[in-house]
Amino acid sequence: MLSQLLKPIKAVFKSELQKFIHKDFHELVQRMTVIDTFLFLIVHFVDKFGVWHKLPVILGLLYLAIRRHLHQEYNLINVGRIPVGVRSNLVDLPYRTADGKYNDPFNEAVGARGSFFGRNMQIIDQSNKLLSPDPMVVATKLLARRKLIDTGKQFNMIAASWIQFMIHDWIDHLEDTKQVELVAPREVASECPLKSFKFFKTKQVPTGFFQNKTGSINVRTPWWDGSVLYGSNAETLGKVRTYKDGKLKIADDGLLLHDNDGVAISGDVRNSWAGVSTLQALFIKEHNAVCDALKKEDLDLEDEDLYRHAKLVTSAVIAKVHTIDWTVELLKTDTLLAGMRGNWYGLLGKKFKDTFGHVGGAILGGLVGLKQPDNHGVPYSLTEEFTSVYRMHPLLPDDFHRRDVSVEPDHNKSPPLIETVPMGNMIGLKGEQASKEMGFRALLVSMGHQSSGALELWNYPVWLRDLIAHDMDGKDRPDHVDLAALEIYRDRERKIARYNDFRRGLFLIPISKWEDLTDDKEAIEVLRDVYDDDVEKLDILVGLMAEKKIKGFAISETAFVIFLLMASRRLEADKFFTSHFNEETYTKKGLEWVNSTESLKDVIERHEPEISKKWMNSSSAFSVWDSPPNTPNPIPIYLRLPH
């Protein structure tokens, strides 16, 4: 009765509020609760002035917390019916399975290999606009690298390799058996490395839903489960295990083993390169070291027990490094330093959590160690939009800078450059051979001392426009592809919103003119030409590269909002990071191992102590190694103001 009486009052209230809200969000607000409407107003007001990243840290965190809440309520969309399964029983399955099943406590199939990609916003059918404008025109005129733009000292080639290492852990689309061919239009044909190329369509599978009638299938496990090392099925797992003391296979030289065809043996080697293989080798060493430590603590642990516990520990170390080390370097601001550490430790911080355990909910105690996993009422998956914003191939340079680790470094711990190797020789089977010739130490040190490319227009590697793609087993396909053009096509094919609709879907104010996107006059001129001076036609990938960056951010704000939602979701929806992040599941030694690891530098020092001592000057292994270490800041982080 009361709710009926209040309904007209709410309607009038919301109608009045619309005067202060961008017209594109009027319908959205009508669907919101009164509380969420009020929270939206706060975020929207701050966005109008574009100042959230300029606020004091504590206010910036409040803004992000409110925004994350709104996205958790309105930007998690399930795609596809989940097969009726059984509730998982921790007593029977206190470990991560090969295919990702039995993590969700209510349904075995959630997050398993072969489950659907979810959505963060409604689909935009572009079946009649797949070639508008032509992907090869977009790639040639707006993406193709003219001259390398790098990230300075902020981000190195280990950081660039790391995100590819993570992609191989999380996402890959099931392909159709039907091929598509793109042909370069005459206006750009002379500038395209390939005049035409063929590729397999993304497989569209019926969902059983009325609105999203079809969806895409993830052939990797979307959990943070280290499947880049272990694989996403029992067959691959069988290839990488030694079946002795729980360990994984690794070559005597500290790099990956290879089969008779020269294909690397690891969890996921499709479309890979030497940088990813090096990180796989490093974390195989980590897994095997965990096995040794656990065996030393308990001699009764058998091969299967050691493997399962070590997989839990190693996966958690990877997740922690990504959360409080890699992401902090990617989004180099005090607000995000506080925010990412808050995701893991909570506002009370590491010292409090180490002493007293998880206290309070997600805000005070962090997402890791919550009493129960939280999927916000939507079965866990990674999303099509998440896939889209992780298109970061401009991070790759044109050449790999090989360093000489046989001589003493200079005062900045920088070893001399002895060779520049074309990146085309560092990918696939060629890259595996080059890795063997260089060795693990030289590879890691060289990547540490080389800046990555920047995520900008005209910075997409040209060598990726004539690329040998791989089958699912890591073997070369006969058809080369233009990856820049293919990525434009993929977003359209998968019904991902174009840039302005993407922003609307994330409650970000859309651009009304090109000058809202970029200050680069040449870029504006070319954007007008390619997109017929219509900002609504702008592709999401181009928009993310063109968008003005927040100071300290290596990515766009638009991409960051997806990160804000999904980085938290990967932790809070996983029982092995929440209800079962404990000694009973991980073992006492295993949990200590995770809790004492704070960075990739810690991992490197465990296995190659001389590397960081001799060649790493920087505070993080993800920034260029000859850069000075971070200056200590005596001001408590929550009291800091942006620089």
Q: How confident is the model at residue 7 (pLDDT cuts 50, 70, 90)?
A: low
Q: How confident is the model at residue 385 (pLDDT cuts 50, 70, 90)?
A: very high
Under the banding of pLDDT at 50, 70 and 90, the label for residue 3 is low
Q: Which residues form the catalytic set?
A: 168
User: Would the pLDDT of 318 be above 90?
Assistant: yes
**pLDDT of amino acid 209:** 84
Percentage of the chain lying above the pLDDT 70 cut: 96
Q: Tell me the sheet residues that pair with 200.
A: 179
Mean residue pLDDT of the chain comes to 95
- DSSP output for 525-541: HHHHHHTTT-GGG--HH
Tell me the binding residues: 393
What does the pLDDT read at residue 83?
61
Burial of 261 (0-12, 13-18, 19+ CB in 10 A): exposed
Domain range annotation of the chain: 2-70, 135-639
DSSP assignment letter at 421: E
Per-residue pLDDT tens over the stretch 157-198: 999 999 999 999 999 999 999 999 999 999 999 999 999 999
What confidence tens digit (pLDDT) does each residue in 433-487 have?
999 999 999 999 999 999 999 999 999 999 999 999 999 888 899 999 999 999 9
The pLDDT tens digits of the residues spanning 83-116 come to 655 565 655 689 999 999 999 988 889 999 999 9
pLDDT in tens, 386-402: 999 999 999 999 999 99
Q: Which pLDDT value is given to residue 174?
A: 97
Instruction: Indicate if the pLDDT at residue 204 is higher than 80.
Output: yes
Specify the pLDDT at position 26.
92
One DSSP character per residue, 136-187 reads HHHIIIIIB-SS--B-TTS-BHHHHHHHHHHHHHH--BPEEEEEEEEE--HH
pLDDT band at 17 (very low <50, low <70, confident <90, very high): confident
Superfamily (CATH) of domain 135-639 = Haem peroxidase domain superfamily, animal type (1.10.640.10)
pLDDT digits (tens, 9 = 90+) for 557-596: 999 999 999 999 999 999 999 999 999 999 999 999 999 9
pTM of structure = 0.96
Higher pLDDT, 7 or 351: 351
**pLDDT tens per residue across span 327-346:** 999 999 999 999 999 999 99
pLDDT band at residue 65 using 50, 70 and 90 as cut-offs = very high
User: Confidence band (pLDDT; 50, 70, 90) for 13?
Assistant: low
198 DSSP β-pair partners: 181
pLDDT tens digit sequence for 598-621 = 999 999 999 999 999 999 999 999
Q: Mark the binding-site residues for heme b, compressed into ranges.
A: 393
Q: What is the pLDDT of residue 75?
A: 98
Predicted pLDDT at 107: 86
The tally of CA atoms less than 13 A away on the side-chain side of residue 438 is: 30
Query: Which residues, 6 or more positions from 464, have their beta carbon under 8 angstroms from its beta carbon?
Result: 393, 396, 483, 484
Which tens digit of pLDDT belongs to each residue from 259-295? 999 999 999 999 999 999 999 999 999 999 999 999 9
Can you give the pLDDT at residue 299? 93
Distance CA 418, CA 625 (A): 17
